[in-house]
Structure 1
Amino acid sequence: MQRILFQGDSITDWYRDYKDGITLGRGFVSYVAQKLQDQEVEVLNRGISGNTTLDMAKRFDVDGLALKPDLLTIMIGINDTWQAFLNQKITPASEFKQIYRDVLLQVKQETTAKLILMEPFLLPFPEDRKAWREDLDPKIHVVRELALEFDALLIPLDGLMNAAGIKYGFTKLIVDGVHPTDFGHHLLADIWLDAVYKNGYLQL
């Protein structure tokens, strides 16, 4: 039985029950699990709404390492940017990198998990979200650098989601530039599944 762990913020969380360790929420993680139900896998969700990268790092012993995943997916970072604009709490890209890198070092040192890093993403809707790019783009580049350093599978979500927004319309995918609609969550699940199958992380 292969254990697949998803870690992140509200996009991963998406209304899961924190008191029940096996519930998956109502978002893309649950849709991934539905499509893997005929495989010998166990899917776990430990995303927490509102988490920054530092928040995730502080709980990673319990919500990451202790679960001994075989496949670990992390999507984190958008709240670091959100806090910069909401509360003027700025996390420089260098600090973001150090926190994220420390988490990945723990994974490499204490588990045998394969890593999948999903870029944080931002769509240009509403209009003021465009200003967030100045803070988010360097963090996206950090995720790419870390994927290379730690031999992780990178899922380039920012470009993929923006391309889908152009194709389908941004409001079909997203409600506020960050949080997906149900259609957006289904798309995220399909993107994740396509990446893991094409790269041999799971077998059809």
Structure 2
Amino acid sequence: MQRRTFLYTTALGALAGVAGIPALSNTPRQDYLVINAGIGGNNTVDLLKRIDKDCLAHSPALTVLMIGTNDMNSMKYVPLEQFGANLSTIIEKIQAKNSRVLLMTICPFIEQFLLTRHKREHYGEEGPSGRRLAVNDTIRELAAKHNTSLLDLGALFDKAGKVGTGKDSLIQNPENSGRTDGVHPTVEGYRFIGLAVRDFIVYNGLPQQRIVCFGDSITAGDGGTEKNSYPAVLKRLLAGA
């Protein structure tokens, strides 16, 4: 299986397309089944504990995997070497069940708000941005090692340039959500992810049925808003948008 790496060359054009996603039925055709297997607060340790029940038991044809945001933060910190080992095991377990794997790099954050939740000194000399860079480099390396597909979602967000303190930010801030969040996407941010995943799947000929989206709150949908999560957007798009 040939690894395919994907990055939109016109991210702002894709962003414009996000706003035009129509409201579709919540009960798409069964042949476009998408399962949201995200749980808020999870890191790679948590995914390993529940991979059999929440991912492999569904016999996915495609597993969309994004994890690492919590591994890099103080509450559930996992050192980079261990993060890589854990993610490698997760990939191997999924591939052993004959599921294709689509890895995604982690999203950017708004540092000033991130640091209201985590102490700066926790990040060492590299700081939050350096730690995110190291996590995403590890994800890219493992995509190459295990010959998976790779959607460089973090780079796509960076290219779109809609991450900051303004109301149009794709990441939550006081202007667009009334929250000093700085980590979770807005509704438009989740739509942006869903569209990116859908386009990657179609462009690269990946399975469009029996898809499991496995990860943390960026997958689950922040605050229990599963209907606005990227798997929900993906499901609606594959159902006929």
1:66-98 alpha-carbon deviations (Å, 9 max, x no partner): 11100100111101122x2xx4x5422110010
Whether 1:199 and 2:207 are equivalent positions in the alignment is no
C-alpha spacing 1:169/1:39, structure 2 compared with 1 (3 Å): farther
How far did residue 34 of structure 1 move? 6.1
Residue 37 of structure 1 aligns to a residue in which SS?
coil
- Contact residue 174 and residue 184 of structure 1 kept, 8 A: yes
Question: 1:4-153 counterparts in 2 under 5 A?
Answer: 37=28, 40-82=31-73, 84=74, 87=75, 90-109=77-96, 111-126=97-112, 131-153=127-149
Extract unaligned runs of 5+ from structure 1: 1-30
- Contact residue 70 and residue 77 of structure 2 kept, 8 A: no
* Greater C-alpha Rg: 2
Q: Distance in 2 between matches of 1:149 and 1:35?
A: 37
Q: Distance in 1 between matches of 2:164 and 2:202?
A: 24
C-alpha spacing 1:168/1:197, structure 2 compared with 1 (3 Å): farther
- 2:175 aligned residue: none
- Contact residue 123 and residue 162 of structure 1 kept, 8 A: no
Whether 1:188 and 2:193 are equivalent positions in the alignment is yes
Residue 184 of structure 2 aligns to a residue in which SS?
coil
C-alpha spacing 1:34/1:81, structure 2 compared with 1 (3 Å): farther
How far did residue 51 of structure 1 move? 0.4
Q: What CA RMSD, in Å, does the superposition of the two structures yield over aligned residues?
A: 2.8
Q: Identity over aligned residues, as a percent?
A: 30
**One-letter code of the match for 2:171?**
I
- Contact residue 171 and residue 184 of structure 2 kept, 8 A: yes
C-alpha spacing 1:98/1:118, structure 2 compared with 1 (3 Å): same
How far did residue 127 of structure 1 move? 6.2
Higher RCO (Cα < 8 Å, 6 or more apart) = 2
- 2:124 aligned residue: none
Residue 45 of structure 1 aligns to a residue in which SS?
strand
TM-score using structure 2 length: 0.62
Q: Distance in 1 between matches of 2:185 and 2:114?
A: 17
**How many residues are treated as equivalent by the alignment?**
168
TM-score using structure 1 length: 0.72
Extract unaligned runs of 5+ from structure 2: 1-21, 121-126, 173-180, 209-237
